Amino acid sequence: MDCLTTNVPAPEEIDIPALREKYRFERDKRVRVEGQEQYAAHADHLTQDTYEHDPFTPVIPRDSLEEDIDVAILGAGWTGILAAYHLTNAGVTSFRNIDHAGGFGGTWYWNRYPGIQCDNDAYCYLPLLEEMGWLPSKKFADGKEIYDYIQTIADRFELREKGLFHTLVKRLDWDESIKRWIVSTNRGDTIRARFVIMAGGTLSTPKFPSVPGIHAFKGHKFHTSRWDYEYTGGEWGNPVLEKLKDKRVAILGTGATSIQAVPYLGKYAKELYVLQRTPSVVDKRDNPPTDPEWAASLKPGWQAHRQENFLRAANEILPRDQPDLICDFWTEINRNINGELDAEGKGPITAEEFWGRREVMDFRVMERLRRRVDAIVKDPATAEALKPWYRFMCKRPLSNDDYLDTFNLPSVKLIDVAPTQGLEAMTEKGFIAQGVEYEIDAIVFASGFEVTSDLRRRWGFDDVVGRDGVSLYDHWADGPQTLHGSMTHGFPNMFFTGYVQGGLNGTTTLQFGSQGHHAAYIITEALKRGVAVEPTREGQDAYIKRFNEVAADLSSILNECTPSYFTNEGEKEAKWFLFRGWGLGWDNWRDMMQEWRSAGTLEGLELRAESEQVPAE
């Protein structure tokens, strides 16, 4: 089937300077001076008392462990699993995946809310499809199918017996005398590990708003990443929420999770209030089942090829002679540009012209998406409030066929909390918006996760103490300092993953996997040579200098985006940026790292024999 361009308004139909103005107005209306500090501190989380509780798997008491291993992988989501996979391939077998979940899965273990699916092409997103000889049943796979797939990977690579679950890591201390990390847990374990891979996830610590009166509310409350099917009725994979039929429910937040859950809450609850500060982009879903003919036609190497195609079609420049294999809302802007260039009979254009056209197409696509709201939502005021006024990638773009239509149900009401920059207050009985109290029985927090906030609140470890007794929280007080986004000076044998001064790929799991691969390489080398490794200060500084030199200019995003976790809630001086990757692009990054490994010299790292003393700084 041909991948078609979309029907967007012509450039003359939109007034770009006026839209820019409007975008800034909508941003300014929402930016709060507290930035990321507007959210409840970790210690004040509503679920703090239950944070260590797992609603899905009973916690079985066990004796504390005392053991020595080569590698402690902190986390058992995709990143931790891929690190384990690469270690296994490299011949390292003495490792553990430690996780406070009750099993493998990470995001896909904890998030079981109704309607959960991945939001981008699962043929790209789900790693190891070729190795596993498996395909998801549809383009945007269900969360449960992803979880089940993860279990087959854990079995296939014999990871299960290495998992240490329902175990929350509390602190990490480097013991220089034995050159081991001491991993302390809430189960009283002492695990001495030569290496630690930090795979605790980017969206794993639930975040809550700091709303006056939030603790006074006497009704039921839970976070979407701990969905309470006991309360709502139904079950994971079969979300018939029949217990809500006499309940008045509010859901706070209108991001990726909410868009998937709202159609179910709207269908079953007696009344539903959707508390929205910033509307999401919601396009049509188009989620066809996997075509067996297409599946049969796939040739070895197809997944890497598809992932590359996605990266270019969504974020970079898709060469005109390459088809858009992904062909969904993520790739619409580039697809339309290429279609227009073909129609104009234009030859190759410069990168400058491409990015200029991309900006204009962004405005046109967003206008199409706003018109889509008008076409679906019957009440004009509700439709107006549901329109996204920002550039396409300011907030995670979404697709769902039922979300907007849910607002046509008489039992569903959109509560716009933008004028008060978030929910005004809660009371014993419900919430207050623009001076009116709404009584409810339950509130569901679809308020997301700590993503780029202060490291301590995000990671939640009591401490991570390196070679000189320095806390990583202090060491990185002004933001991450790394070599290749992977290791930091003063913290030997410790590897970082996620979005830390490194490459950046549209297929997140490709990035996480490459980080695991890189760590596995260094660990294997260090084990072979019997050394501890850490970046030299010079090596690290040189990398950071280069990283900053080539960094992309994010100012247009910060100027024209409404606040969200994509933009550090509008903090211009933020220390962490989610999408600040290697400015020269993924291919450059991948090749640079490959060359670094191929050289075999571990350039920029200092190797110390186990018996060697720390050199004076």
Which residues contact ligand FAD (rule: CB under 6 A)? 74-80, 98-101, 106-107, 109, 111, 118-120, 125, 168-169, 199-204, 257, 460-461, 508, 512
CB of 234 to ligand FAD, least distance (A): 17
Nearer to ligand FAD, 27 or 42 (CB): 42
State the pairing for strand pair 412-416/436-439. unpaired
- Taking the least distance from each CB to ligand FAD, the nearer of 136 and 430 is 136
Q: Which is nearer to ligand FAD, 511 or 540 (CB)?
A: 511
* CA angle (130, 134, 135) in 5-degree steps: 100
| Cα angle 543, 547, 552; round to 5 | 175
With respect to ligand FAD, which residue has the nearer C-beta, 75 or 570? 75
Q: Is there a contact between 604 and 535 (Cβ–Cβ < 8 Å)? A: yes
Find the Cα–Cα–Cα–Cα dihedral 433, 436, 439, 444, rounded to 10°.
0
Distances in whole angstroms, Cα of residue 370 to Cα of each of 373, 403, 556? 5, 14, 21
- Compute CA distances 68 → 89, 158, 190, 194, 565, whole Å: 21, 20, 9, 8, 38
Contacts 24+ apart (CB under 8 A), 236-245: 236/112, 236/143, 236/144, 237/142, 237/144, 239/113, 239/114, 239/115, 239/264, 240/268, 241/114, 241/265, 241/267, 241/268, 241/269, 242/268, 244/268, 244/269, 244/270, 245/269, 245/270
How far apart are CB 109 and ligand FAD at their closest, in Å? 6
Which of 53, 72, 43 has the alpha carbon at shortest distance from 456?
Answer: 43
Residue 460 Cβ, how far from ligand FAD at the closest point, in Å? 6
Judged by CB, which is closer to ligand FAD: 207, or 608?
A: 207
Nearer to ligand FAD, 147 or 589 (CB): 147
- Closer of 98 and 386 to ligand FAD (Cβ): 98
Alpha carbons 309 and 19: distance in angstroms, whole number: 31
Q: Decide whether 201 or 279 has the Cβ nearer to ligand FAD.
A: 201
Least distance to ligand FAD from the beta carbon of 101, Å? Answer: 4
- Does residue 258 contact residue 81 with C-beta atoms inside 8 Å? no
Report the C-alpha dihedral over residues 202, 203, 204, 210, rounded to 10 degrees. Answer: 120
Nearer to ligand FAD, 203 or 494 (CB): 203
Task: Please enumerate in sequence order all residues whose Cβ is within 8 A of that of 160, keeping only pairs 6 or more positions apart, or say none.
Answer: 104, 154
CA distances from 545 to 286, 480, 490 (A): 44, 13, 19
Structural contact between residues 512 and 498, judged by C-beta atoms closer than 8 angstroms: yes
Alpha-carbon gap, residue 459 to 154, rounded angstroms: 25
In terms of CB distance, is 167 or 382 closer to ligand FAD? 167
Least spacing, CB of residue 289 vs ligand FAD, in Å:
18
From the CB of 89, what's the least distance to ligand FAD, in Å? 18
Tell the residue number behind the tokens 């809450």, with chain if given: 265
For 197, 492, 529, the CA distances from 541, given in Å and listed in that order, are 22, 16, 25
Contact 108, 385 (CB under 8 A): no
In the complex, minimum distance from the CB of residue 574 to ligand FAD, in angstroms, rounded to a whole number? 20
* Minimum CB–partner distance for residue 75 and ligand FAD (Å): 3
Least distance to ligand FAD, CB of residue 232, Å: 17
Nearer to ligand FAD, 106 or 279 (CB): 106
Q: Do 66 and 93 form a contact (C-beta atoms < 8 A)?
A: no
CB of 205 to ligand FAD, least distance (A): 7
Question: What's the closest the beta carbon of residue 310 comes to ligand FAD, in angstroms?
Answer: 10
